[in-house]
């Protein structure tokens, strides 16, 4: 019989592997590689994800790693923008190519007429390696060569055919810039052997496990990974709902009774997005309030209390005062609220160091 893991045990394991039980002394690159990338759809909110995990985190030092090309932002898992190390960018992109291909063929390739994809790849690569281009600029250039075709579709097909990184100043701390792209190969100037699917699964489990095949498929966007799991030396568990979960033989599990700190999570944290079954963090109450965020097209920023979603947080700024508001979906216990207020004050100091600061606590989600 496979050992059964309670929901609380899964939560504690995920908190530990996501470096949320306690902040780490690992370097920024080491943390990014351990987490197997951070979703970075927005240019800056991922900095809060690293602040959550690294003791004494310096956003300017992390920003410099983008300039030094040790970190990059590129479409990878689920064909969404992720912050990854240079090594993982070059190794993981070929493995995840089918994810981007699947969406690109169904949405954009069918809009093209008389376009040879090999020729498009060569032309697109030459253009972005001559100078970094936005998709609008790239599409305009390509449409001159293939008149009558949709310029946006042409640029998006190149996004699949050529690994494209977003170049600074986009993504730098305290700065902004156009969403301009060049090829990963020209930007990084070296190569890495493609990552095998087995190595990807091992890396995922080290950062997210124990987890199911479906969890890894949801995180990566790949399909048909069951055969990969069958060929690996893994230990098995069962969730309380009888789902089969896998883990690495050398990984231990923390006590389900260990206390965990209040955490303010950033909007696209993979701790939530990286699972098919998100109940190890997401409560039924979160599902109830989540509809209002979806309706408003707002990505929530969640507060974890005792490891589980208990509220969300917002920041507003007016006349030099930044206010972080703790939105309690139900009243926090007094000790939890004090801890949330203290952690919120530290987060606000990180996000708005030059402002006056206020912490507010209210009942109800920020969207309803």
- Nearest CA to 30 out of 76, 84, 67 is that of 84
Q: What is the DSSP string of 315-344?
A: EEEETTEEEEEEEESSPPPHHHHHHHHHHH
Q: Is the pLDDT of residue 367 over 90?
A: yes
Query: Residue 174 is encoded by which pair of tokens?
Result: 């305290």
Read off φ and ψ for residue 360, nearest 5 degrees.
Answer: -120, 150
* CATH number of the domain located at residue range(s) 282-363 in this protein: 3.30.70
Q: Is the pLDDT of residue 1 over 90?
A: no
Using one digit for the tens of pLDDT, what is the confidence trace for 79-119?
999 999 999 999 999 999 999 999 999 999 999 999 999 99
pLDDT at 116: 98
The stretches of the chain forming alpha helices (DSSP H) are: 7-17, 28-34, 46-51, 59-67, 86-107, 117-130, 135-145, 151-161, 184-188, 197-208, 213-220, 226-230, 270-273, 284-296, 334-351
Report the run of H or E that residue 357 belongs to, with start and end. strand 356-363
* Cα 165 from Cα 295, distance rounded (Å): 31
pLDDT at 310: 98
Mean pLDDT of 247-252: 97
235 contacts 2 by C-beta, under 8 angstroms: no
pLDDT at 156: 98
* Cα 298 from Cα 300, distance rounded (Å): 6
169 contacts 178 by C-beta, under 8 angstroms: no
User: What whole-number percentage of the chain has pLDDT above 90?
Assistant: 99
Q: Is the pLDDT of residue 138 over 90?
A: yes
* Cα 297 from Cα 320, distance rounded (Å): 28
pLDDT at 250: 96
**310 Rama sector, left if φ>0, alpha if ψ -120 to 50, beta otherwise:** alpha
> Which residues are CB-neighbours of 118 under 8 A, at least 6 positions away?
none
Q: What is the DSSP string of 175-235?
A: ------EEEHHHHH----PPPPHHHHHHHHHHHH-SB-HHHHHHHH-----HHHHHTS--E
Query: Residue 238 is encoded by which pair of tokens?
Result: 């069962």
* Cα 149 from Cα 213, distance rounded (Å): 40
Read off φ and ψ for residue 147, nearest 5 degrees.
Answer: -60, 150
Using one digit for the tens of pLDDT, what is the confidence trace for 153-164?
999 999 999 999
> Which residues are CB-neighbours of 328 under 8 A, at least 6 positions away?
310, 311, 337, 361, 362, 363, 364
> Which residues are CB-neighbours of 160 under 8 A, at least 6 positions away?
97, 100, 101, 104
Predicted TM-score (pTM) of the model is 0.96
Average pLDDT, the chain: 97
* Cα 290 from Cα 307, distance rounded (Å): 18
Q: Is the pLDDT of residue 190 over 90?
A: no
Mean pLDDT of 330-356: 98
Which residues does residue 237 pair with via DSSP β-bridges, in sequence order? Answer: 245
């Amino acid at each position: 019989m496979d050992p059964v893991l309670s929901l609380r045990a899964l939560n504690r394991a995920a908190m530990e592997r996501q470096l949320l039980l306690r902040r780490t002394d690992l370097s920024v690159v080491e943390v990014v590689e351990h987490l197997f990338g951070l979703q970075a759809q927005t240019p800056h909110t991922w900095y809060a994800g690293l602040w959550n995990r690294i003791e004494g985190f310096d956003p300017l030092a992390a920003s410099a790693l983008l300039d030094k090309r040790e970190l990059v932002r590129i479409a990878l898992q689920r064909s969404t923008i992720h912050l990854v190390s240079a090594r993982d960018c070059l190794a993981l992109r070929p493995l995840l190519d089918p994810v981007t291909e699947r969406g690109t063929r169904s949405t954009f390739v069918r809009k093209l007429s008389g376009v040879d994809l090999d020729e498009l790849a060569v032309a697109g690569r030459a253009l972005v390696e001559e100078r970094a281009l936005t998709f609008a600029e790239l599409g305009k250039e390509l449409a001159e060569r293939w008149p009558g075709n949709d310029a946006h579709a042409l640029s998006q097909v190149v996004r699949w055919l050529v690994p494209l990184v977003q170049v600074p100043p986009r993504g730098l701390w305290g700065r902004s810039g156009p969403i301009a792209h060049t090829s990963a190969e020209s930007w990084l100037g070296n190569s890495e052997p493609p990552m095998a699917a087995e190595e990807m699964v091992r890396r995922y489990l080290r950062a997210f496990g124990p987890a199911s095949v479906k969890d890894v498929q949801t995180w990566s966007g790949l399909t048909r990974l069951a055969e990969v799991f069958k060929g690996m030396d893994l230990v098995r568990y069962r969730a309380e709902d009888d789902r089969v979960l896998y883990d690495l033989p050398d990984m231990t599990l923390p006590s389900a009774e260990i206390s965990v700190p209040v955490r303010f999570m950033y909007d696209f944290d993979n701790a939530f997005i990286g699972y098919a079954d998100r109940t190890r963090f997401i409560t039924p109450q979160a599902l109830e309030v989540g509809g209002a965020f979806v309706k408003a097209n707002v990505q929530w920023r969640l507060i974890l209390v005792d490891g589980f979603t208990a509220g969300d947080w917002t920041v507003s700024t007016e006349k030099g005062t930044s206010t972080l508001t703790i939105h309690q979906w139900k009243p926090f216990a007094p000790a939890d609220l004090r801890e949330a207020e203290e952690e919120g004050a530290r987060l606000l100091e990180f996000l708005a160091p030059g402002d006056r600061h206020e912490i507010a606590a209210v009942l109800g989600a920020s969207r309803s």
